[in-house]
Structure 1
Amino acid sequence: MLCAEVSVYPQKTNSSSDVINKSISSLSNENIKYEVGSLSTHIDGNDEQVWNGIKKVFDAAKTSGEVSMVVTISNSAH
């Protein structure tokens, strides 16, 4: 099992919240457990689920322009 803390930081936009919400909502159709926090989203699952979830979040965010994403990955229980 893996877990990841993911934070998305949109660049050069006045609608950061929209970009962040869009990136998080990309996980809603995935078979993955996630929890939205005030500064990051926590993703839990097997290796493939977590890596795919990270990619989904980044791919959704980058459609709105430049974005930075910080990810912390762990294989320990959260």
Structure 2
Amino acid sequence: MISCEVSIYPLETQNSDQVVNQALASIKDMGVTCQVGTISTYITGSPEKVWECIRTLYDTASTRAKELSMVVTISNSQKS
């Protein structure tokens, strides 16, 4: 199991909330635990699934925003 904290920052768009919400919807059924916070999303699951979610978030957001920044922190710690 690994966990990550992800923040997506759409740039050059008037619809940043929509871009973020669509990206989050794209990982809804990917078999990970996902907790959405006010500025970050926390994802926990198998390494393969978490990496797949990170890629899906980026790909989905980048097709909807002209530019974006994405900050990811990954941990293999089992402590909560």
Check whether TM > 0.5.
Answer: yes
- Alpha-carbon offset, residue 29 of structure 1: 2.2
Counterpart residue identity of residue 58, structure 1: Y
* 3-state SS of paired residue (2:27): coil
- Alpha-carbon offset, residue 31 of structure 1: 1.3
List gaps (5 residues or longer) in structure 1: none
Corresponding residue number in structure 2 for 1:76: 77
List structure 1 segments (4+ residues) > 3 angstroms apart after TM superposition: none
Deviations 1:28-70 (A, max 9, x none): 1211111100001000001101100100111110011211100
Count of residue pairs brought into register by the alignment: 78
Counterpart residue identity of residue 29, structure 1: D
Corresponding residue number in structure 1 for 2:47: 47
User: Superposed, which structure 2 residues align to 1:1-78 within 5 Å?
Assistant: 1-64=1-64, 65-77=66-78, 78=80
